[in-house]
Structure 1
Amino acid sequence: MSISNLQIKNLRNISSISFAPSSAINIICGENGSGKTSILEAINVLGLTRSFRTNKARHLVQTEQASTVVFASIDPMAQGFKQSLGVERPVEGEARIRFEGGDIDLSTLAELIPLQVINSDTFMLLEGSPAVRRQFLDWGVFHADKAFIQLWRGFRRVLKQRNTLLKCGKIDNQLRQVWDREFIAFSDQLTRLRIEYLKLLKPEFDKVVSQLLGDMDVQLGFSYGWDKKRQLDEVLASNFERDLRQGFTGSGPQRADIKLKVDGHNAAERLSRGQKKLVVSALKLAQGALFQRMNGRPCIYLIDDLPSELDSAHGELFCKVLEQSSNQCFITCVDDSSLNAFWHSQTDIATFRIADGDIAAPM
């Protein structure tokens, strides 16, 4: 997967720009507020119809404009065929997605543009709520197994109905058992897919961690969302009165989590800021490597302010891992000289300088 041409209109301080990125490494440099992160946002809109910085379109769309539009020529299956993709995100209403002249839905778009974002929010994989880690996990399962999206939607439907009945107090033990059977059926399948995916991800993660952090032992584990020593039907039955009082289901796959530990301790409490960046980046890089192994095509990486939090030695290690992959990378920094020495002379690198929302030719 790669983008061979990118056009952005009316996004933050970018009125209209167009450029042809490298299929490998793209460095976007400029002063703070120049618009370099906005380019990454635009690519995120292209792949997910939204920014990674805000869910509110009015903050994304340029002032006094009705919508932002991102258009690209892409090679989604990495077969050398260019195809057109465009996403329009209006201030009001739903996004419109056009691929090769026809409308497509969001799940189809997500399959076309496999995105990985590494920015300051990526620290939330260690420091944030379990929901952040479930989202990371489910991205991988979605791309690994075609059955996942329907299972996930079915589970969410049953969970929503069960919670509604609990909240309204309109559920007794007999009705609970009816909904619990469906809840458990979806839960078992969903949990199985998540566990299978993590088993595949772990060796990729261990490999990247060893490249970035040497001998540091970082353990990657999984929490079911309930006591795995007990059957889920038993857990739901014993927790029913508590769930009824609280008005929601307290146990199940909606509480699943990834556990990251270093020497048996919570990684978020054990690691320095720089080490945390390398560990969360290792998760993202490992996920991209596994995606490519399973699907035969690379991801697109959006990496905001790569040099921050990293010393020169670890910055170079990070760049070497990126360089060894076949992913298309878009990397922002204030000063590209901080990265120039890290790349091999044969690597295809395009450097773009941006100022006041306008981009210069490749350097």
Structure 2
Amino acid sequence: MAISQLQIHHIRNLQQLYLQELSQINIIYGANGSGKTSVLEAIHMLGMARSFRSGGSRAIVSHGQPRCTVFGVARSAAGGRGIPMAVQRAVGGEVEIKVAGQQVRSVAELAERLPLQVMNADSFGLLLGPPGLRRQFLNWGVFHVEHRFYPEWLRFQRCIKQRNKLLRRDKLGDGELAVWTRDLAVAGERINAFRLDYFSALAPRFREIMARLAPELEALELRFRPGWDRTLSYSEALDGSSRADRDQGYTHVGPQRADIRVTIGGYSAAETLSRGQQKLLVCGLKLAQGELMSELGGGHGGCVYLIDDLPSELDQPHCRLVCGELVRMKAQVFLSCVRREDLEGMWPTATALKLFHVEHGSLLPAIEDAASQNNDEEGPPWMAAYLIKQGPVKTLLPGAVTHEI
């Protein structure tokens, strides 16, 4: 999947920005505070209906504006007609989404249309952060290659929520608890099987990529921990933890405790590697995941990479290696940097490359044919049928995303 056109309204200091004729590699450069990272943030909102930064809707919407909006056209690797997409967020947090003229009822449906991978300073959390971040990484990969995973994951979430609710009751009904425990065990085993199959494909791909990025780290290993003693079935593990579950009021074992452990020579990679090596490792994980999705994702093509300040912590040779991997994968990439020279010369010869210069929230000419960049107020013709009405944004239903555009 690739984005061919993009229009941004009222995201942070970007009042209105229009980018067209996007390339495989798109470099967005400008001084600190110019708005270059906000462009990446807008693309993330188009694919996930939220920012990758903290702060919520009030922070992402430009000061004094009631809402922000992102429009885009996504095209599959097979070509064909582009799919218009639009996402709007109000200051109060309400979200409205439309894809190909139709309302979208869940963020999962949106994410399936435009898979995104983010590499930024927060990505170090994949190695240094809590297990929940690595579970999110694993779930993202399984979601995009196994269509049965998401319904099973929703079923598991419902079961564990109900089971924990029962465990916190003063008077616990054994019969009702047994029903939810049985259903939880079934859903948990299925989720674990999906994750294990995916991990079995991810680990060798990760090692292949790391052998090219950092051959000196040949002792790197990935290990998957399911969240309970792997010698037991999940049902047996639940039986074994039943006393502790009852005493403390929650489920101790299961997929909600899964983790990926990264070691080098038997030691924790998080504690052993330098900052630059840690960044290469995180890049290797993200690249391996994107490549697997391209191969196993059922014809949807690869994901779009959003990379903020790639040169940070990487020397030029390693930065060039990462860029080479992105081109080899034929991924569409959006990168931000301070100076165009930071990334312009990092790519193999004949790479399809486009530069965008952002200053004070506006797009300036970056190359000779930059006059083709159109920033008129009306926007491109394709957008006319997909403009989101400027009336009040409707309140979301509890537990679901509702959209009317």
TM-score > 0.5 by shorter chain: yes
Compared with structure 1, are the counterparts of its residues 232 and 81 closer, same or farther at alpha carbon in structure 2 (3 Å cutoff)? same
Q: Are 1:138 and 2:139 counterparts?
A: yes
Q: Are 1:275 and 2:277 counterparts?
A: yes
The one-letter code of the counterpart of 1:278 is L
Q: How far apart are the structure 2 equivalents of 1:166 and 1:77?
A: 49
Match in the other structure for 1:232: 234
Q: Answer yes or no: is the 8 Å Cα contact 1:2–1:78 preserved in 2.
A: no
Compared with structure 1, are the counterparts of its residues 116 and 101 closer, same or farther at alpha carbon in structure 2 (3 Å cutoff)? same
Give the drift of 1:172: 4.6
Provide structure 2 residue ranges, at least 5 long, that are not aligned to the other structure: 368-405
Q: How far apart are the structure 2 equivalents of 1:3 and 1:352?
A: 15
Q: How far apart are the structure 1 equivalents of 2:254 and 2:275?
A: 32
Q: Are 1:354 and 2:391 counterparts?
A: no
More displaced stretch, 73-82 vs 262-271: 73-82
Q: Answer yes or no: is the 8 Å Cα contact 2:57–2:93 preserved in 1.
A: no
> In the alignment, which of 309, 318, 343 is matched to residue 339 of structure 1?
343
Give the drift of 1:289: 0.4
The one-letter code of the counterpart of 2:138 is L
Q: How far apart are the structure 2 equivalents of 1:332 and 1:170?
A: 57
Q: How far apart are the structure 2 equivalents of 1:229 and 1:259?
A: 18
Give the drift of 1:55: 5.7
Q: Answer yes or no: is the 8 Å Cα contact 2:115–2:303 preserved in 1.
A: yes
User: 1:102-181, aligned counterparts within 5 Å?
Assistant: 102-105=102-105, 106-181=107-182
SS of alignment partner, residue 168 of structure 1: coil
Compared with structure 1, are the counterparts of its residues 170 and 40 closer, same or farther at alpha carbon in structure 2 (3 Å cutoff)? farther
Q: Answer yes or no: is the 8 Å Cα contact 1:118–1:304 preserved in 2.
A: yes
Give the drift of 1:21: 4.9
Q: Answer yes or no: is the 8 Å Cα contact 1:22–1:328 preserved in 2.
A: no
SS of alignment partner, residue 137 of structure 1: helix
Q: Answer yes or no: is the 8 Å Cα contact 2:71–2:86 preserved in 1.
A: yes
Q: How far apart are the structure 2 equivalents of 1:276 and 1:266?
A: 11
Figure out how many residues of one structure are paired with residues of the other and give that number: 363
Match in the other structure for 1:293: 295
Compared with structure 1, are the counterparts of its residues 28 and 93 closer, same or farther at alpha carbon in structure 2 (3 Å cutoff)? closer
Match in the other structure for 2:243: 241
Percent identity of equivalent pairs: 42
Deviations 1:286-341 (A, max 9, x none): 10000111134121000000100111221111111112121110001111212222
Deviations 1:70-95 (A, max 9, x none): 00111145423212111111112431
Q: How far apart are the structure 2 equivalents of 1:233 and 1:67?
A: 48
SS of alignment partner, residue 220 of structure 1: strand
Superposition TM-score, scaled by structure 2 size: 0.87
SS of alignment partner, residue 92 of structure 1: coil
The one-letter code of the counterpart of 1:237 is D
Q: Answer yes or no: is the 8 Å Cα contact 1:57–1:90 preserved in 2.
A: yes
Q: How far apart are the structure 1 equivalents of 2:160 and 2:308?
A: 36
Match in the other structure for 2:28: 28
Aligned CA RMSD, in angstroms, stands at: 1.4
Q: Answer yes or no: is the 8 Å Cα contact 2:10–2:62 preserved in 1.
A: yes
Deviations 1:85-108 (A, max 9, x none): 111111124311111211113222
Q: Answer yes or no: is the 8 Å Cα contact 2:5–2:22 preserved in 1.
A: no
Match in the other structure for 2:42: 42
Match in the other structure for 1:219: 221
Q: How far apart are the structure 1 equivalents of 2:83 and 2:180?
A: 45
Compared with structure 1, are the counterparts of its residues 169 and 126 closer, same or farther at alpha carbon in structure 2 (3 Å cutoff)? farther
Q: How far apart are the structure 2 equivalents of 1:258 and 1:312?
A: 29
SS of alignment partner, residue 340 of structure 1: coil
The one-letter code of the counterpart of 2:343 is L
Deviations 1:9-32 (A, max 9, x none): 000001001012533111111111
Q: How far apart are the structure 1 equivalents of 2:255 and 2:361?
A: 43
The one-letter code of the counterpart of 1:279 is L
Q: How far apart are the structure 1 equivalents of 2:208 and 2:112?
A: 26
Give the drift of 1:353: 0.9
Q: How far apart are the structure 2 equivalents of 1:77 and 1:94?
A: 32
The one-letter code of the counterpart of 1:241 is R
Q: Answer yes or no: is the 8 Å Cα contact 1:22–1:348 preserved in 2.
A: no
SS of alignment partner, residue 196 of structure 1: helix
Compared with structure 1, are the counterparts of its residues 21 and 262 closer, same or farther at alpha carbon in structure 2 (3 Å cutoff)? farther
Q: How far apart are the structure 2 equivalents of 1:346 and 1:359?
A: 25
Q: How far apart are the structure 2 equivalents of 1:78 and 1:94?
A: 34
More displaced stretch, 207-216 vs 128-137: 207-216
More displaced stretch, 110-119 vs 48-57: 48-57
The one-letter code of the counterpart of 2:359 is A
Give the drift of 1:174: 4.0
Match in the other structure for 1:253: 255
The one-letter code of the counterpart of 1:72 is G
